[in-house]
Amino acid sequence: MISLLRALTGALFMALVMWGSTCAAANDIRVLATTYPVYLLTSEVTRACPGVYVDLLIPAQTGCPHEYALSPRDMRKLAAARIVVINGLGMETFMDHALVNLKNVTIIDSSANVTQLQGAHHHGHSEHHSHGVNAHAFTSPVQAAAMVRTIGKGLAKAAPHMAGTCLKAADAYALRLEALGRRVAALGARTNNKDVVLLHDGMAYFVRDAGLHLAAVIQEDEDVQPSAARLLEVTRQCKEHRPALLIGEPQYSEKPLRALTAETAIPVVLLDSAASGPENPPSGYYEHVMEKNCQLLEEHLGNN
């Protein structure tokens, strides 16, 4: 009899634990970030918010999702999310249909207060240059700060019980990014030659913030290597105008840049756009990437 009571008590205890876990799970807030940079920013805002779980929709190494197609696993993530944070500016055309069909889900467009930049070239993937708008605002710490504040306000509205925590965290993070933006803004003063050439215009926001002049973009279509004619044209421009730097990104092939530097002797520097990165990034990862970009430009521009 005692053994039976113990068994029943144990079973009841386990049932209560499972019931409590289910209730806790039901109260959890599942946030889904569509792209890696948005995931980095959203994760920092929610790091101090208990019961908020942020997941990334597409794999961390995808980068900008030019030709991405949602998988069944992605669809399950969307179905489980209560809040979806998007980059906006035409970046998410791969999931337009899925977003329209989401029910009872809050969509936060992090680009709502971004100071937009027109695409330097947009002959290729028009989905990433909606009406000519460059979708890579996250490469600017100042614009990333604006995205963070929008994310914080969106989360506060969607979950009023943690509004104070979200807004406070977003403001603190945005202030750090704005301070980093001031370091970026000082870069142009390090050189008299402010002309630079980009492999593609993903870093155009960063270049603008740095007070540099975008003289040319080599790769007009991000998924297609530049033609021989395009390389010859940019080589001619470089020989004529002698820009300070050729700027690429580790996410893309360096071959066009190496071909250009071999012809012109203009130095190459690789700046990380944070469009992709480690699957489980540490806190402050975005800041670390942008600080490294600043350090590289400080070193290279100081020699011009």
List pLDDT tens digits, range 128-185.
444 489 999 999 999 999 999 999 999 999 999 999 999 999 999 999 999 999 999 9
Rg (CA), the chain: 23
Instruction: Work out the angle between the directed axes of helices 285-301 and 36-46 (0-180°, nearest 10).
Output: 120
β-pairing, 52-56 vs 29-33, is parallel
What are the domain boundaries of the chain? 25-184, 188-301
Assess if CATH 1.10.3720.10 describes domain 25-184.
Answer: no
What torsion do the CA atoms of 51, 143, 180, 151 make, to the nearest 10 degrees?
Answer: -10
Its CATH class, for the domain covering 188-301, is: alpha beta
Instruction: Please tell me the pTM assigned to this model.
Output: 0.86
Long-range own/partner contacts, residues 48-55 (CB < 8 A, 24 or more apart):
48/165, 48/169, 49/155, 49/162, 49/165, 49/166, 49/169, 51/24, 51/27, 51/162, 52/28, 52/155, 52/159, 52/162, 53/28, 53/29, 55/30, 55/31, 55/81
Measured between alpha carbons, how far is 110 from 205 in angstroms, rounded to an integer?
A: 16
State both tokens at 60. 């961390």
Mean pLDDT of 76-98: 93
List pLDDT tens digits, range 237-290.
999 999 999 999 998 889 999 999 999 999 999 999 999 999 999 999 999 999
**Average pLDDT of the chain to the nearest whole number:** 87
List pLDDT tens digits, range 37-76.
999 999 999 998 888 999 999 999 998 887 899 999 999 9
- Asked if 25-184 and 188-301 have one fold, the answer is yes
Question: Given pLDDT bands bounded at 50, 70 and 90, which one contains residue 302?
Answer: confident
